[in-house]
Every structure is written in structure tokens, then in C-alpha cells.
Amino acid sequence: MSEQVQRTDVPVHEQWDLTHIYEDGAQWEADYNRALDLIQVVAAFEDQIHTAGQLLAFLTKDEELSFLYEKLFVSTSLKLDEDTRVTESQARVDKAKSLGVKIKSATSFFRPFLLSMEKETLDAYIAQEAGLDYFKKDLYEEFKYKAHVLSKEKEEVLAQLGEVIGVPKTVFGMINNADIQFGEVTGENGEKVTLTRGMYSRILESHNRERRAEAFKAYYKPYVGLKNTIASTLGSSVKNNVLFSKMRHYESPLQRSLFGDNVPVSVYDNLIQTTRENLSPMYRYVAYRKKHMGLDELRVYDLSVPLVEDFELKMPYEEAYETMLKGLAPLGDEYIGILKQAKTAGWIDVRETKGKRSGAYCWGPYGTHPYVLLNHNDTLDSLFTLAHEMGHAMHSYLSDANQPKISAQYTIFVAEVASTVNEVLLINYMLQHTDDLKLKRYLVNHFIDTIKGTFFSQVMFAEFEKIVHEKAANGEALTADSLSEVYRALFQAYNGEDVVLDPELQYGWSRIPHFYNAFYVYKYATGIASAVSIASRILEGDQEAVQSYMTFLKSGGSEYPLELLKRTGVDLLTPEPITKLLSLFDSLVGQLEAL
């Protein structure tokens, strides 16, 4: 569907149901007021925790407030994403964000207090008060931050700066989702149509090169026009990361980002280095693409075209969902049963509509169920996006159902494993269940491009983030020109000399929302490497692998991510999962050439 479709035109069964969180605005306001009251309650504990009972009382109220805030913020954010132009929704999100700042300010005393405590005192409290056992793991976890927590006064100031610190990300979000207009391009029948993000991805897969070039220029034009403004927002975000890393005594923003997951910097460096040393299969694929397409010059807008001419797989949403269920059948009856229920239970918002947030995600508060935002347009990419996001949804659902609040939330690091296992299982199912050589070739090509997008592109983005943060740390200015110079060089290095770079390409950094959540994207790459390893064992019929994977999905955040993955047989401290994925990519390129 086009973005011009109104939300009222979409069938109810293809919309999520946010009344499962709050039936109406009055309920939201009631919880908002309850949260304000709880803020006063938790703030009153400052300088008043002298016994095990008082510590338990604070932690209990603090957890209640935390999950109430999550419910308030998530529900109103989901509502805004239905239509980012609605000022009432914008105002309520701002109200929720302000509430979050008040909560941080009211509770900012606790970490310095806890870290000023002797471990022996905490041990004694936990021994005295049985209820503290529930909070034990998190309390001891806090002690690793001892060197990185500031004084009570400084923590209060940082808490009050919360909204200001988030401005670069907020401003970019409004530019990217609400303000950017892509102008008109030529439609399939020669008519002029307004370009949308969903349409752009479809046109890039078109075999009409003139339309691809036109859409590429139209898509990048507003970003190029705003390059200095967006360089300012991204530069400010990076400088914030550098500043707060120094203030909190981390070796670097990268180390600070990995610290919470207990992931050593060597994992990040190993990912980049191992990939850099194995780029020849990518160059081989790009050279094959250029030759197969019969092009004198291979351009960026030529890189997404399926290499099977006159073949387009259109799959309506209903059929896509059924195909996904069949592909994920190796995960067992429990998994499939929940997926079947999710389709009709108000979890999923399916269609692209006017003003709706772009892309796709899964999100939801503990105690309700996950919500999945899609912009489904009946393509093969839409099918795999569906499987990807439902992987997140199942991970959330199973974690929430099997873990208490305190350990239900898994980290982003392992989140991308669950989503990508689904994609790998699905593509294997589709390859195994067709004798059509044209379709098989199409699917192998798609699998290659999935790895290219989920692994190689994300490693490139990860290296970009590392470089620009190092530049900022060294006092170098982050201008549109300097950011573009880094981006262009990396794109050429990762894709090879066979790709001729259009001038617009160097501004690719200006359109990536994930850069405002620093050092996030590398987890897509480690995720697909881990997923390939897990899925390969499942596809071999290893029932122990299925059980260990289901246990992983139900484990939430009960352990550090690297430990959770080790239980599935994946060790990211070694190059092995990365080299295994790169070997698969090389094999797939060989299959494509043979087919």
C-alpha cells in the first residue's frame, strides 16, 4: 500500500490494539498521576536507607515506578508512531519523556549511595532480609560501576540534563520521519508519484535502471540539502558520547557502550578485523553482479536488483504469514502455536499509512504483550521483515512469560539473534521447497543480499562509528565534509573498486537513525553470525539444539549475553562464528554462479 493510504482504510485485523495497554486516555492520565506520587515516595528515601528493610522498601517502590513508566512511555510512543503528525501524541510523548527525567532525578541518589556502601554491609542486609534475594544479582551488578559513578550532586545534574542530551536524536527523528519530503518520481505507468521510503526500496529492486537512478537521486536529495544540519545533530550526539565517557572515566565511548553487556572491546575489534581480512567473497559477488547485469559501470542503485530477470515474487500478507509458520516449524509446536495466536490478537500493525513511522520494530511493556510495527508491501523483503520482527516478538513474549520483571528484559545484543534465526530458517525452508530453478536462484541471491545488508553493511557502519568517535575524541571537527570522507572511503573498501560511487552516496551517514544510539549496529552482525551457527544445528535435526535455543529465548536477561550464547554453542570471543558466516557467504556466491 502507498503511504497516501489513510489509517482508517486499513482493516482492523491488520492494526495493533493499544487498548490492551490502556483502554483510553483517562487510564493513561491516572497512571501518570500515580507515577508522580511514586516519584515523591522514592525521593523520600534519600538519606533514609539505614536498614535491610528500608533498602527492600525502596527497591520495591523503585521497580514499581520503573515499570509504570515503561507502560506510560511505550504506549504513548506506539500511538505517536501510528501517525507522527498528530500534535496531541507528540505532546504526550514529551510529557512522558519529562516524567522520565523527573524519575531519574528522584532516584539519582541511589547509585552513589549503593556504591559508597561496603560490600560486607550489603552482604549482611541480604542475609537479614529474605526479600532482597530477588534484587541480589542486580545489586551486585551495580558494584562493577563503582569507578564510573560520580558524586551525588553531579549525578543529579546529569539526570536533569536528560532531555537536553537527547535533543540531537529527537531533532533527527523529527527531520527524518515528519519533515523530509522526497518529491516526485516516475511511476510504473509513466505518471508522476510522490516517493515514499517503502516505494524507494521497491524501485531499487526494479529492473528499470532509469527509474532506479531517478529514485536514488530523489531519495538522497533532501538529505544532501540538509547535510550541514544533520552533520550538526550527528556531531553533537557523538560529542555527547565522548564527553560523558570521559566524565565517567571510561577508556572510550566504545568501551562504555560495551560495558553493560560485559562484552570486551576485543569482540568489536575482532568483528571488524576478521571481516576486513575476508572481503574477497564480497568483491567476487560485486564483480559477478556487474558482469551478469552487463554494465560498463556498476552504480550503488544497481546493488539491490534481483539477478533473476523478469521474476518478481509478490506475496500477500496472509500468504506471507502462512509461509513464515511453515518455515519456522523446526522450532516446535510451542513456538508455532504462539505465533498463530499473535496474528489475530492485536499484536501487529501491518500497512504503510500516511504519517506512520517508517521501517519496522517490535516493542511492548512487560505484562501486556509485544507490539510489532510493519510497513508491509507484499514483497519478499516484507516477508523476511515479518519473520525478523516476529522473532523479536517471540523472544519478548517467552522471556516475559518465564522471567520475573527484574530479569525479563534481554539486551539488544542477543535480540538480533532471535530475529535472524527466523530469517535463516525461513530462507532455508523456501530453498528446500521449490524445484523452480529461477525461484531458487532468486532466493540464493536474496540470502546473499540479506547477509550483505545484515552483516557487511553493519560492520561497515560499526567501523564508521568507531572512526568518527575517535576523531571527536581527538578534537577533530565532525562536519558534513569530514563525515562524508570517512563514509565514502569505507563504502569503497567494503564493496570494492567495481562499484562507481555517485556523489550522493558519500552522504549515506545522514540517513542512518541507528547512529544516534552509538555502537548498536555491530550487534546485527554478531547476531546474524550467531544465528547462522544456531540455525545450522537446528536444521540438522538436532533436538538438543532446539531445546537449548528455546531455553535461550526464555532466559531474558538472566545472564550476560555472551554467556547465554555459549549455552547455544556460540562463542563470540573467537573468530569462529564470524569466519563460519563468511564461509557461508562465499559458498552462496558459488551456488549463485553455478545456478
What gap in Å lies between CA 1 and CA 24, rounded to an integer?
29
Domain containing 77 equals: 7-165
Residue 48: inside a domain: yes
Report in angstroms the alpha-carbon separations of 151 from 50, 114, 259, 540.
Answer: 19, 12, 20, 54
Buried b (16+ CB within 10 A) or exposed e, 300-325: bbbbbbbbbeeeebebebeebbebbb
- Helix or strand holding residue 371 (H, E): strand 371-376
> How many other CB atoms are there within 10 angstroms of residue 404's CB atom?
12
First to last CA, the chain: 33
Sheet holding 361-363, edge to edge: 348-351, 371-376, 361-363
> How far apart (Å, rounded) are the C-alpha atoms in residues 236 and 344?
43
- Which pLDDT score is estimated for 161? 83
How far apart, in whole angstroms, are the C-alpha atoms of residue 479 and residue 462? Answer: 19
- 389 catalytic, yes or no? yes
For the beta carbon of residue 251, count every other beta carbon within 10 angstroms: 11
> Active site residue: 3, 389, 465, 559, which one?
389
Contact by Cβ (8 Å): 32, 22: no
Residues facing 192 on adjacent strands: 186
> pLDDT at position 502, please?
96
- Position 576 scores a pLDDT of 92
Place of cell 542486580: 138
Contacting residues for 176 by C-beta, under 8 A, at least 6 apart: 358, 511, 513
- Only one residue has cell 527523528, namely 173
- pTM across the whole model: 0.81
Report the sign of the C-alpha dihedral through residues 84, 89, 94, 98, in that order.
Answer: negative
Please report how the helices 543-554 and 380-402 are oriented relative to each other, as an axis angle in degrees rounded to 10: 70
What CATH number should be reported for the domain holding residue 157?
A: 1.20.140.70
Hey, which residues does 186 pair with through a beta bridge? 192
CA 103/CA 38 separation, integer angstroms:
9
User: Exposed, middle or buried: residue 117 (CB in 10 Å: 0-12, 13-18, 19+)?
Assistant: middle
Residue 162: its pLDDT value, please? 79
CA–CA separation, 567 and 149 (whole Å): 32
- Tell me the C-alpha distance between 66 and 339, whole Å: 29
Does residue 589 belong to any structural domain of this protein? Answer: no
SS3 content of the chain, % helix, strand, coil (to 5): 70, 5, 25
Residue at 576 is within a domain: no
C-alpha cell at 325: 509458520
- pLDDT value at residue 269: 96
The pLDDT of residue 2 is: 44
Asked if the structure places residue 214 within a domain, the reply is no
Kindly state whether residue 110 falls inside one of the protein's structural domains.
yes
Total count of domains within the chain: 1
Q: What is the pLDDT of residue 1?
A: 43
Residue 571 three-state SS: coil
Q: Is residue 144 part of a domain?
A: yes
Q: Within a domain: residue 307?
A: no
- Asked if residue 158 belongs to a domain, the reply is yes
pLDDT at residue 446, rounded to an integer = 85
Neighbouring CB atoms inside 10 A of 344's CB total 9
pLDDT in tens, the chain (595 residues): 444 689 999 999 999 999 999 999 999 999 999 999 999 999 999 999 999 999 999 999 999 999 999 999 999 999 999 999 999 999 999 999 999 999 999 999 998 899 889 889 999 999 999 999 999 999 999 888 888 888 878 878 887 887 888 899 999 999 998 889 998 999 888 899 999 988 998 899 888 999 999 999 999 999 999 999 999 999 999 999 999 999 999 999 999 999 999 999 999 999 999 999 999 999 999 999 999 999 999 999 999 988 887 777 789 999 999 999 999 999 999 999 999 999 999 999 999 999 999 899 999 999 999 999 999 999 888 999 999 999 999 999 999 999 999 999 998 889 889 998 999 999 999 999 988 888 889 889 889 988 999 999 999 999 999 999 999 999 999 999 999 999 999 999 999 999 999 999 999 999 999 999 999 999 999 999 999 999 989 999 999 999 999 999 999 999 999 999 999 999 999 999 999 999 999 999 999 998 8
Distances in Å between the Cα of 21 and the Cα atoms of 152, 221, 562 are: 35, 40, 33
